[in-house]
Amino acid sequence: MNGVSRPDPRQAAQSAALSRAMAGAVDLSALKASSEAAARPQAAPQAGGGGGDSRFVVDATEQSFQADVLERSLQVPVVVDLWAEWCGPCKQLSPVLERLAEAGNGAWILAKVDVDANPRIAQAFGVQSIPMVVAVAGGQPVDAFNGALPEPQIRQWIAALLDALRERMPAIGQAEAGATADDEPAEEPEDPRFTAAEDALERGDYPAAEAAYQQILAVEPANEQAGAALAQVRFLARAEAADPSAIARADAAPDDVDAQLAAADAEVAADGVEAAFQRLVTAVGRTSGPDRDRVREHLVGLFELFPADDPRVSTARRALARALF
């Protein structure tokens, strides 16, 4: 399931690994056994048992995983936030998730997991980069995403998660029905600049969306949300027109720079991220002058679609440096 109504290149690039996890590659049985053994001498924790900040936000550990995640997920979804103290994007994402969990009034629970302190949980979920967010229902992972997504996309993802599980989990509807206006935090006013850009994107008007994000960056050059959105808009515009046959044409004409750029876009759109990066690194080594600059800039633009700590980006950056110098 995916609550985001339009393509998100960052999520698309992570989909293969996450799909394997959702298909059952994630084995939580060892964590369950370990958690049960640790919990035997004491009563199972009640709401907030993981030491979290509230009834709806808990700090889950390897010892409390059974009670905080697996048992709770039999009633309502548990959204597991895998983070670490040194992770900058985690510090942006976690407060958003905490605020939304409080607003959800128990329709879902947020379980925060420090991966450094709980390596077995990170291993069980196959964590390769953080932040990583996994939804667990009925004791099994059912959906996930990587990276510090914008709050509107997180809201959509959670809404889609609840919609898909509401009939199977009556407690979701009961919690939603019990929520009152007093329980919900005041809505932050929407930034009209981002609203205009998102509206243009909804219409498929990529030039207008690009212009809107560029206007934000002209005033706030360090606005990371606008910068990431601009990179995604530019890619979406190209990806929508991408021709899968571009890959075969580029393979047949290795010196055709335009063909190599188009093929790389097609490969990223098809989740062939490493192949796209390698293609452009090779093209950088084969070209010079303005052509080399074009290829390098295109590759760097593709890097911006992914988290900075994505290992594929790190590997490709090192390869690019070797090709350039």
- Give the closest residue to 195 by CA, choosing from 225, 218, 171: 225
**Alpha-carbon distance 133 to 124, whole Å?**
13
**Alpha-carbon distance 133 to 122, whole Å?**
11
**Burial annotation 222-243 (CB, 10 A radius, 16+ → b, else e):** ebebbbbbbbbbbbbbbbeebe
**Burial annotation 304-325 (CB, 10 A radius, 16+ → b, else e):** bbbbebbebbeebbebbeebee
Is the backbone peptide bond immediately before 131 cis, with ω within 30 degrees of 0? yes
Amino acid at 172: I
Amino acid at 165: L
Cα 219 from chain centre: 27
Choose the catalytic residue: 69, 87, 283, 305.
87
**Alpha-carbon distance 220 to 295, whole Å?**
27
- Give the closest residue to 31 by CA, choosing from 64, 55, 57, 78: 64
Helix (H, G, I), strand (E, B) or coil at 24: helix
Q: Respond yes or no: is residue 54 known to be catalytic.
A: no
Name the H helices within 220-324.
Answer: 224-240, 246-252, 257-269, 273-286, 289-303, 311-324
Q: Respond yes or no: is residue 90 known to be catalytic.
A: yes
Choose the catalytic residue: 22, 79, 90, 124.
90
**Alpha-carbon distance 65 to 57, whole Å?**
13
- 283 and 257 in contact (C-beta within 8 Å)? yes
Q: Render 30-54 in DSSP notation, one character per residue.
A: HHHHHHHHHHTTSPPP-TTTTS-SS
What residues are labeled active site?
87, 90
